[in-house]
């Protein structure tokens, strides 16, 4: 069996046990020294001046938008191919998500489609560094500048990713991160953070995450209750130490998949356009996705689809916009993620690749 994911702590189990014990012994569970330590360490890891820990990645994005003043009446342009939470964060901030199509190569927002979607109400762009692949920030930064728009980057799948050598999250107002257990940096529960180089944005975000309090029992605005707790912060501090190594491992496994699947036309691989890719997932495109998944399942290999439905086609969003996103539509019908995580061994990657190659032969025989 090759499962899609493996989340049970392994090598880092003793360190995590110790981190949890440290918090229990201290008896301080919310907004304490572990969070402060993690925020400083995560800011450094992402080359940003400030990190603000919050309850999850969705809140990180929503709070980042609110902290820069995006709200009612504003439009935020984002990708139709992402976790639906990206668009929900925009709604939570009081704004309206507008979907522009994706680039068929990167599978991230297409700058030309974004340019065409800008209106007088557009306040911000929210590119998603999907699957760990950085969006085309070299195009978005000048576009935003020209139109006076803010950029908040969805970095929920892109911890430590860089775009043309520059860290994601640094191209605009800031970035939103998720530490959901399956993410490249995963907690043992829900957690998230936003990063920014702007002191004012960081201060406002700290206020917003804590009920809008400027000081204890003084609520200056209606914020939310969304804090990264001490136990998760302590766990994340331990895991952050191994993140660079885990990222190298993801890249090595991805390179192996690329080499093994380079020749086949059973599946298409999105090309590597930026070495800063951190491979949260390893998606391939297949004409008959269901048959490929079935073929792999029969060989004990688990796959998942990220994502089967473009966000503007979700019942929750379709009333908002008749989105014209043909590329996202096609990708959603063909994309399938192969297993890839730091504890997967190279032999398993070979097994998966061989199974994909044998799918082609099986199809020809039919």
The site for ligand PLP (CB under 6 A) is made up of 56-58, 82-83, 85-86, 128, 154, 156-157, 178, 180, 190, 192
Q: Pick between residue 134 and residue 192 the one whose CB is nearest to ligand PLP.
A: 192
Query: For ligand PLP, which residue has the nearest CB?
Result: 57
Q: Pick between residue 157 and residue 337 the one whose CB is nearest to ligand PLP.
A: 157
* Nearest-approach distance from CB 177 to ligand PLP, in angstroms: 8
**Beta strands of the chain (E only): which ranges?**
50-54, 75-78, 96-99, 122-126, 150-154, 162-163, 166-167, 174-178, 192-196, 213-215, 218-219, 282-285, 335-338
* Nearest-approach distance from CB 181 to ligand PLP, in angstroms: 10
Q: List % helix, strand, coil for the chain (3-state, nearest 5).
A: 40, 15, 45
The position carrying tokens 């085309």 is 136
Contact 64, 53 (CB under 8 A): no
- Run of H or E including 270: none
* Nearest-approach distance from CB 60 to ligand PLP, in angstroms: 7
* Nearest-approach distance from CB 273 to ligand PLP, in angstroms: 18
Q: Pick between residue 154 and residue 238 the one whose CB is nearest to ligand PLP.
A: 154
Q: How many residues does the chain have?
A: 366
* Nearest-approach distance from CB 178 to ligand PLP, in angstroms: 3
Q: Pick between residue 111 and residue 192 the one whose CB is nearest to ligand PLP.
A: 192
Which residues sit opposite 178 in a β-bridge?
192
Give the integer Cα–Cα distance in Å for 214 and 143: 35
Q: Pick between residue 82 and residue 232 the one whose CB is nearest to ligand PLP.
A: 82
> What is the number of other CB atoms lying within 10 angstroms of the CB of residue 344?
20
Q: Pick between residue 131 and residue 359 the one whose CB is nearest to ligand PLP.
A: 131
* Nearest-approach distance from CB 56 to ligand PLP, in angstroms: 4
């Amino acid at each position: 069996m090759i499962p899609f994911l493996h989340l049970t702590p392994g090598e880092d189990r003793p360190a995590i046990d110790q981190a949890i014990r440290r918090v229990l012994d201290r008896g301080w569970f919310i907004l304490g020294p572990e969070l402060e330590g993690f925020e400083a360490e995560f800011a450094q890891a992402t080359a940003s001046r400030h990190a603000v820990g919050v309850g999850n990645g969705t809140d990180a994005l929503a709070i980042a938008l609110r902290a820069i003043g995006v709200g009612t009446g504003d439009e935020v342009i984002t990708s139709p191919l992402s976790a639906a939470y990206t668009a929900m964060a925009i709604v939570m901030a009081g704004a309206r998500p507008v979907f522009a199509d994706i680039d068929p190569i990167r599978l991230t927002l297409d700058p030309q489609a974004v340019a065409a979607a800008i209106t007088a109400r557009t306040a911000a762009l929210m590119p998603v560094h999907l699957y760990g692949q950085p969006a085309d920030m070299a195009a978005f930064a000048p576009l935003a500048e020209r139109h006076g728009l803010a950029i908040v980057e969805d970095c929920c799948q892109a911890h430590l990713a860089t775009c043309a050598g520059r860290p994601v999250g640094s191209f605009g107002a800031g970035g939103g991160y998720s530490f959901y257990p399956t993410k490249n940096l995963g907690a043992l529960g829900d957690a998230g953070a936003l990063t920014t180089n702007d002191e004012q944005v960081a201060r406002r975000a700290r206020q917003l995450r804590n009920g809008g309090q400027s000081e204890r029992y003084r609520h200056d605005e209606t914020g939310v209750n969304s804090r990264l707790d001490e136990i998760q912060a302590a766990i994340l501090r331990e895991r952050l130490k191994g993140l660079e190594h885990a990222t190298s491992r993801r890249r090595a496994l991805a390179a192996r998949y690329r080499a093994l699947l380079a020749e086949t036309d059973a599946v298409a691989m999105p090309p590597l356009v930026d070495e800063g890719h951190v491979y949260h997932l390893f998606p391939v495109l297949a004409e008959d996705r269901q048959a490929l998944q079935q073929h792999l399942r029969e060989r004990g290999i688990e796959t998942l689809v990220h994502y089967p439905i473009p966000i503007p086609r979700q019942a929750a969003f379709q009333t908002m916009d008749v989105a014209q996103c043909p590329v996202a539509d096609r990708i959603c019908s063909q994309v399938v993620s192969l297993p890839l995580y730091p504890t997967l061994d190279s032999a398993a990657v070979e097994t998966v690749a061989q199974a994909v190659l044998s799918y082609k032969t099986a199809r020809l025989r039919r």
